[in-house]
């Protein structure tokens, strides 16, 4: 089961409220699908500039593996206040720890509610069906 302290998008991003910010990453399922379990298959991650304002559902970046390119979608609208630049240089972090060290961006949201996203049980049902 995925962590239940965050919410999920159908497109395999997660969002977690952390004070006044929303932390966003991708799930272990997304990493596995992109890399076939081989962390060396992840080759590129493009994250947005700090200060960019995004809308809920908007693509904010992309992640690329040797087999596919996948858009990264915003779970909420708001201003990007921090990016995990470490990820761009060390993609293996996504394979090793997608839930903590593998976060991608932090957003100062227009609305902190994550109720429109899937909970862990619904996300789990979504990927196993």
The residues with which 74 forms a beta bridge, in sequence order, are none
CATH architecture of 7-128: Beta Barrel (2.40)
Q: Tens of pLDDT along 8-22?
A: 999 999 999 999 999
Return the pLDDT at 40: 79
CA distances from 69 to 43, 61, 90, 101, 115 (A): 10, 10, 17, 22, 28
Torsion of CA 74, 79, 82, 85, to 10 degrees: 50
Q: Cα separation of 90 and 85, whole Å?
A: 9
Q: pLDDT value at position 94?
A: 92
Domain boundaries, the chain: 7-128
CA distance 97 to 93: 6
């Amino acid at each position: 089961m995925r962590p239940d302290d965050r919410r999920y998008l159908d497109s395999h991003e997660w969002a977690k409220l952390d004070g006044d910010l929303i932390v966003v990453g991708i799930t272990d399922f997304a990493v596995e699908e992109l890399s076939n379990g081989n962390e060396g298959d992840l080759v590129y991650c493009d994250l947005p500039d700090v200060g960019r304002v995004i809308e809920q559902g908007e693509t904010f970046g992309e992640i690329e593996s040797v087999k596919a390119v996948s858009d990264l979608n915003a779970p909420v609208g708001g201003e990007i206040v921090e990016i995990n630049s470490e990820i761009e240089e060390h993609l293996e972090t996504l394979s090793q720890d997608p839930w903590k060290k593998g976060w991608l961006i932090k957003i100062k949201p227009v609305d902190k509610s994550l109720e429109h996203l899937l909970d862990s049980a619904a996300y789990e049902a979504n990927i196993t069906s």
